[in-house]
Amino acid sequence: MTPPAALIRFRGPVRAVAGPGRTGITLLGDIVEDNGSLTAAQLSLNGLAPVQLPEILSDVTFEALAAQEVLLRNGAQPWRVPCRTWQLHRDVGALFYAAIPPRPTPWTRRLGWRVLLGLAAWGPGLRLLRRLSGAR
């Protein structure tokens, strides 16, 4: 969880869906990071009471006001949401794959799969593979 004085800005369309729980709301969209880049994110608010939000919002700002209240702004429209807890989940897939590039497949494995698939595509080869695997 981010510190209590958190300010999170979504850019573009933001979808509001029900959950977690009966009184929770989850916002799905792209947030603006400190360096200005956009990251797909999910902000889950575990509410104290049901709150009605439009299904699609735009350029939402989230601000944690007090221990049990947050403020959502959609342009000039503010919503005070009584909230027990909130969680922000970022998509870190792009950062992960940039840091750990994919390992190249060894040529022996590529050759093995090519031979296996070539046999499976050929009638007598398919019968041979079935006989070798014990399948009828």
Work out the pLDDT band at 5, boundaries 50, 70, 90: low
Instruction: Let me know whether 70 and 111 are in one domain.
Output: no
Contact 11, 30 (CB under 8 A): yes
For the question of whether the overall pTM of this predicted structure is more than 0.85, the answer is: no
125: containing domain: 103-133
- Residue 2 within a domain: no
Quote the CA–CA distance of 133 and 16 in Å, as a whole number: 51
Instruction: Let me know whether 15 and 69 are in one domain.
Output: yes
Q: What is the pLDDT of residue 13?
A: 92
pLDDT in tens, 9-60: 999 999 988 878 888 889 999 998 888 888 899 999 887 777 788 888 889 9
SS3 content of the chain, % helix, strand, coil (to 5): 25, 45, 30
- Model confidence at 2: pLDDT above 60: no
Mean pLDDT of the 51-71 span: 85
